[in-house]
Structure 1
Amino acid sequence: MSDGGLTMRQMQHLLGFTWTPSPTSYEDAFKVMKTALKQGANFWNGGEHYGPPDANSLQLLKAYFTKYPEDAEKVVLSIKGGMGKDHAFDGTEKGVRPSVENCVRLLGGSKKIDIFECARVDKNTPIEETMAALLKMRNEGLIGGIGLSEVRAETIRRAAKVAPIAAVEIELSLWSTDPTRNGILDACRELKIPVVAYSPLGRGFLTGKFQSPDDIPEGDRRRTFPRFQEGMFDANMKLVRALEGIANKKGVTLPQIAISWVLALEKQFDVTIIPIPGSTKRDRVLENTTVVSLADAELAEVDVILSQNPVEGERYAENVMRLSDG
């Protein structure tokens, strides 16, 4: 890691440790993590709030690196935190420091946090104050670098004036194309900041495994997302079916098309982009880390499909959308 960023060109895949409604045993998770690392997916993303306090992604990571200490230096670990009760965020040092220290404590010395980012921007605290607090903690050695999450272009530019930015994490996919138009990718190119694209498979919608809202398991929080609701679900399936046509003609899977499209934006915007598909099964890791090349004609066909099949519904419920840096 350099002072400001990462040599992300060496990290073409990322493994996301996100919330899942069906528990996975540590041993099964370890197999997936080992497969990911073998496939070159050495940039791992977790969160203090991914799972309950006594069994979240940090406990899993500690268990893994305790069992396989030789892998600690092979992995770049990015952790999101800063969320308090009721999804509240406090961007002051008093609010952020306990989260950073808790994440360090949960890892128990098994692995250093290479990048720490507040999951959302505190709208009541200037981003400059939050960055100064994180810079202080970086200089103390608590974290290796500072990331940003769910931010707009203006916030990126303001934050970068205070401290080096290691990465900017945003939702970016065929399901969420706003960053290609709202200046975020342009800001990251100008400032030479790598982009971490979360939910590149549209929270599973772009895998084609959901054919109706009833296919979403009970207790799965996607049931609360507008895009998965009756009416909007059927409209959004038109996009999936159209994209499946390209995948079938090419003899690849829809997830491979989705991830490869995200990676193709690197050339268009001249910025490093790392997609972060969350995977709980070894086969999915192998599929998601097999990148296919999309010809210019195929990318143009995708553009037409996107224009003819706009996604309906917000990314999150209204109360969650209000937390975004809009």
Structure 2
Amino acid sequence: MSQPQPTVLGRKTGHLGYGLMGLTWRQDPKPFEDIIPVMKRALELGADNWNAGEFYGTPDRNSMHLLKSYFTQHPSDASKVILCVKGGGLPNGVPIPDSSPENIRRSVDFCLDLLKDTSKKQIDIFECARVDPQRGNEQAIETLAEYVKAGKIGGIGISEVSAKTIRASQKQVKGLGLPGVTSVEIEMSLWCLDALNNGVLAVCAEEGIPVFAYSPLARGALSGNGIRKNSDLPEGPLRHLPKYQDDVLAVNNKITDAAADMAKEHGCTMPQIAIAWVRGQSGRTKTIALEDGSKKEMKLPTIIPIPGASTVKRVEENLKDVVLTEDELKTLDELVEKFPTQGNRYDEGGMTVANG
């Protein structure tokens, strides 16, 4: 099934992007000199939407430090990359949302300061990683609009938001004299269909807002190794997420097994099937839920999966141009409807800011 080339910020871009979180936000991050060739290969393969975070790592070694190193070594790549940066958390890398004007300025200025001596002086898209449950996101949007008008960031993205928030944010951004919300970032995979069922994709389609889909491999559950038992996960936060507990993994892995079967038939790998399914939703006509819970057949928005990978081999696997037929997409649709995954995406505390 052929797909039109996506457009972000008025630029033609790749069908797949690249998530940088795992390059710096992990227990034993690799040295930058080992990571930069991986990033270079991702760009060579067409993944020109890069997704970074102020809090992806420690205050002195996060995405922004990595990007500073990358663009210092590869200055000509600055114009090739559409850089989306998540921030808006508390200082020192604490991922708790604070949308006060002073904190948003601190967050954006910190990121810009690390890029100022490189060829990538502007952040293309800046987004608050979560909506501040106390303040909402109105103040954040007003503050970010100042940076857009000053030419320091290219556009305002929003992340982990409800359909209601997307609609309100779009109205506010346009009211501030800007074209509108640049992008919406959500979790989406064969293990996570929330956006199809809560009105988020419907609003993005209506408003013409492209979507960045993170964790298209369900945090490794749809990777080559998979997650068959909770102990397969390394010690850390993922082990405690409801979706990856032993009492539900047997049910959830029915989708993994189905993707593996299709991969054999298609002549590719299971992760490639999983990523291709998310990519295949882009511009597809499908019946999905609206904000009020009713259903409607409509053309979905542009959806760009942003898988992460820390080795050249994995980048080359994830970014291979695998396209599913409509029949294959429908087969997987039927399977996820028959075997819906169990367990929330985050624990109780995380879910309070997961759909702001």
TM-score, reference length from structure 1: 0.94
The list of structure 1 runs, each at least 4 consecutive aligned residues, that deviate by more than 3 angstroms after superposition, is none
Secondary structure at 2:78 match in 1:
helix
CA distance in 2, matches of 1:235, 1:208: 18
1:105-130 deviation digits (Å, cap 9, x = unpaired): 12233222111000001122243332
| Greater fraction of residues in helix | 1
Question: Structure 2 counterpart of 1:191, which letter?
Answer: E
| CA distance in 2 between partners of 1:293 and 1:140 (Å) | 40
Number of residue equivalences = 322
What is the Cα deviation at residue 94 of structure 1?
A: 1.9
The answer to whether residue 248 in structure 2 is matched with residue 232 in structure 1 is yes
Q: Which residue of 1 aligns with 2:213?
A: 197
Higher strand fraction (1 or 2): 2
Post-superposition CA distance 1:167-213 (Å, at most 9, x none): 10000111111111211111111111110001011011111413322
Residue of structure 2 in register with 1:292 after alignment: 322
- Name the residue aligned to 1:93: 101
Question: What is the CA-CA distance between 1:8 and the residue it aligns to?
Answer: 5.7
Q: CA deviation at 1:237?
A: 1.8
- Deviation of 1:142 after TM superposition, in Å, equals 2.6
Residue 9 (structure 1) shift: 4.4
Q: Deviation string for 1:8-37 (max 9, x for gaps)?
A: 642222111113333112122111011011
Distance in 1 separating the partners of 2:217 and 2:146: 36
Q: Which runs of 5+ in 2 are unaligned?
A: 1-6, 174-179, 285-298
Structure 1: runs of 5 or more not aligned: none
Residue of structure 1 equivalent to 2:287: none
Match in the other structure for 1:155? 165
Q: In the alignment, which of 214, 217, 242 is matched to residue 234 of structure 2?
A: 217
Aligned counterparts of 1:201 and 1:305: Cα–Cα separation in 2:
17
- Report the secondary structure of 2:216's partner residue: coil
Q: Quote the offset at 1:137 in angstroms.
A: 1.9
Aligned partners of 1:250, 1:84: CA distance in 2, in Å? Answer: 46
Structure 1 contact 265–273 (Cα < 8 Å) conserved: yes
Single out whichever of 44-53 and 243-252 deviates more from structure 2: 243-252
Give the counterpart letter for 1:289 in structure 2: L
Change in Cα spacing, 1:74 to 1:172, as seen in structure 2 (3 Å) is: same
Secondary structure of the corresponding residue to residue 185 of structure 2: strand
Match of 2:18 in 1: 15
1:114 aligned to 2:117?
no
Q: Is the contact between residue 78 and residue 116 of structure 1 (CA under 8 Å) also seen in structure 2? A: yes
Whether the aligned pair in 2 keeps the contact of 1:123 and 1:325 (CA below 8 Å) is no
Kindly report the root-mean-square deviation, in angstroms, between the aligned alpha carbons of the 2 structures. 1.7
Counterpart in the other structure of 2:65: 59
Kindly tell me: are residues 87 and 36 of structure 1, through their superposed partners in 2, closer, same or farther at Cα, counting changes over 3 Å?
closer
Q: Is the 8 A contact 1:5 1:145 kept in 2?
A: no
Give the AA of the match of 1:279: A
- What CA distance in whole angstroms lies between the structure 1 residues aligned with 2:311 and 2:251? 29
What percentage of aligned pairs have identical amino acids? 43
- Report deviation, 1:321: 1.1
Deviations 1:123-151 (A, max 9, x none): 22243332111101221233121100001
User: In the TM superposition, what is the alpha-carbon distance from 1:311 to its structure 2 partner?
Assistant: 0.7
Report the CA distance between 1:95 and its aligned residue: 2.4
2:45 corresponds to 1:36: no
Instruction: For residues 288-325 of structure 1, give each alpha carbon's deviation from its aligned partner in whole angstroms, at most 9, with x where no partner exists.
Output: 11132212221221122112221111101111111223
Going from structure 1 to structure 2, the CA distance change for 1:5 and 1:37 (only over 3 Å counts) comes to closer
Instruction: Give the letter for the 1:15 counterpart.
Output: Y
Change (3 A) 1:182 1:292: same
Residue of structure 2 in register with 1:315 after alignment: 345
- In the alignment, what sits opposite 2:291? none
Contact persistence 1:5–1:165 (CA under 8 A): no
Moved more, 137-146 or 37-46: 137-146
